[in-house]
Structure 1
Amino acid sequence: MSPHQGIHHISLKTQGEAQFQQVLAFYRDVLGCPLVRTWGAGGNSGAMLDLGNTLLEVTANGAPGLKKGLFGHIAFAAADVDALAERVRAAGRPVWMGPVDQNLGGGYPIRIAFCTGPAGEDIEFFQER
């Protein structure tokens, strides 16, 4: 029996209240992630959004000069990568790769796209074919 029960949440630290609000709006309004809870105010603001099978914790207390979010990238399972990439473009965010078809080997075809989120974080949309 494993001593843990899986991933509870992923944490993304933003640089202050303005970027915090941009990140919340992007994940909630563009990607459709429901807001679960919020706490604090100003530079101490925090929130959790439902990603489907885990939570994304967003806080406004990231270090000044932070170039990227504090994870390599977050990958969303997608039923339609192209539609998600178009939603991101329509929201004014850059899609810097794809959508493209790839094969991870062993007969594992996928369709993926990558974009940049409001805190500089890389986001992947991943569709198994």
Structure 2
Amino acid sequence: MNRMSNSTFKNTGFHHIALKVRDFDKSVGLYQDTLGLNMALSWGEGKERACMLDMGDGTYIEIFDGGQSNGALQQEPMIHFAFLTDECDAMYNAALKAGCSSHMAPEDLTINGHEKDVPIRIAFVIGYDGELIEFFQYR
């Protein structure tokens, strides 16, 4: 797929997704230490803590403390979010090693689009608070 500019508004793009988590330090560790995101900004104290972690391209995952999730898969209204990567299998395995559970092992697929076919490799894990994380690789 090719990048396209917004036809209505200039300089738009995806900025962040926000998660409210039960164990702030453990979740920050998953995204920062295991998946390689960099701390861009942090603020607050105790259950009022929050931070933004850079995914590597100027988009962020914002994490807030004080979540109540039981860790079960949460899919509505958000279905999942995806990391674009050249290392689908490695990210999947690192997440499993860090304690995430598998939702779908790495698999080669082709999106049969109307415009063109797009060969991909994808995998999914369930994060600590039930967030569904996809690792998306173009082949």
What is the TM-score with the length of structure 1 in the denominator? 0.86
Selected match of 1:47 from 43, 48, 51: 51
1:97 alignment counterpart: 104
1:124 alignment counterpart: 134
CA displacement at 1:91 relative to structure 2: 1.5
Selected match of 1:84 from 82, 91, 95: 91
Could you tell me how far apart the structure 2 residues matched to 1:21 and 1:34 are? 14
Matches of residues 1-129 of structure 1 in structure 2 within 5 Å? 2=9, 5-15=12-22, 19-53=23-57, 54-62=59-67, 64-65=68-69, 68=74, 71-105=78-112, 106-129=116-139
SS in 2 for 1:108: strand
Number of aligned residue pairs: 125
Contact 1:10/1:55 (<8 A) preserved: yes
SS in 1 for 2:104: strand
Percent identity over the alignment? Answer: 37
**Which consecutive residues of structure 2, in runs of 5 or more, have no partner in the other structure?**
1-7
* Code of the aligned partner of 1:35: M
**Which consecutive residues of structure 1, in runs of 5 or more, have no partner in the other structure?**
none
C-alpha root-mean-square deviation of aligned residues, in Å? 2.0
Moved over 6 A (4+): none
Post-superposition CA distance 1:59-84 (Å, at most 9, x none): 0133x356538732110011021111
Contact 1:12/1:71 (<8 A) preserved: no
What is the TM-score with the length of structure 2 in the denominator? 0.80
Change (3 A) 1:65 1:34: closer
